[in-house]
A = this chain, B = another copy of it.
């Protein structure tokens, strides 16, 4: 495709509105991927986080997730290290086995955000989780085969990266 120059329309503190040709989109100022973690306990439950999301003006249920390189001094941390850090911080779990599931775009008409999803297994709860100082996270553990029914029962809208991660994890496990 043709590659018109990237034009900065408005630089926010964390994200910026930009355009390539006439196409407007949003980009993170860090220019690093997001990570999400499909963490499955030994008794086949997936670990989910519930937190307030100002963009949606509601509390949402999501995969544990975060940004690579958003800790000062560790801007170039490997993605799996970011995933380990976010899983521990948000849920209090460490994992023995880490497998990369898939890299995908969250909304390619709107943003260049790339999310890399990991499968975490062999989980061990080492603290209560809950997020860093600015977060106020509630941890849920839901039978991995009952996530859709559980969300529907709560009347919760879904998190697309959660459903995408479950799809890839289930496909990978069924082919083993």
Contact = CB atoms under 8 A, between A and B. Distances in A.
Interface string A25-42: 111100000100000000
Interface string A152-176: 0000011111111111101100000
A26 B15 contact: yes
B3 A112 contact: no
Contact of A103 (B23, B52, B158): B158
B170 A23 contact: no
Interface stretch (A54-62, A77-85, A91-99): A54-62
Contact of A1 (B52, B102, B168, B170): B52
A125 B158 CA distance: 31
Contact of A102 (B20, B112, B158): B158
B20 A24 contact: no
B23 A163 contact: no
Contacts of A60: 105, 108
Contacts of A157: 103-105, 114
B158 A163 contact: no
A3 to B, nearest CB: 6
A103 to B, nearest CB: 5
Interface of A: 1, 3-4, 9-10, 12-17, 19-21, 23-28, 34, 52-60, 62, 65, 102-115, 148, 157-168, 170-171
